Amino acid sequence: MENNDLILFAIIVTSLATFISRFLGAITSEKVSVQSKVFQWFNCVAYSTLAALLGRMIIFPAGVLSGSDLLIRLFVLFSCILIFILTKKNLVIPTIFSAVMLSVLNNLI
């Protein structure tokens, strides 16, 4: 197999795995009540995993983010939370603001 064929094969296999799991999740989700304890538990696990990943990114960053100071990262985080609340839970504005503000502050300091 050539390199191009191998890359194409890998894309197809990973796409199938992703779509099959999503399809099965959509089929079985009809039987799970949003008010059930199982659904609430999965919701809590998902949010706690997201919080842990965000905390790790801010406190122990890797890659390009490690070049910025902790105080800058915390300032951008709290600014984005405030913007998120003020814009009535809009996700786009704080996301764009965080990238721009982090770039500006890293270049200034």
Q: What is the chain's mean pLDDT, rounded? A: 89
Find out whether 65 and 77 touch, Cβ atoms under 8 Å: no
What is the pTM assigned to this prediction? 0.61
Q: Does residue 31 register a pLDDT over 80?
A: no
pLDDT at 80: 94
Cα separation values, 30 from 20, 41, 87, Å? 16, 17, 33
Q: Decide if pLDDT at 81 tops 70.
A: yes
pLDDT of residue 1: 60
Domain locations in the chain? 1-31, 36-60, 62-109
- Amino acid making up residue 14: T
User: Are the C-beta atoms of residues 65 and 54 closer than 8 Å to each other?
Assistant: no
Q: What mean pLDDT comes out for the span 18-45?
A: 84
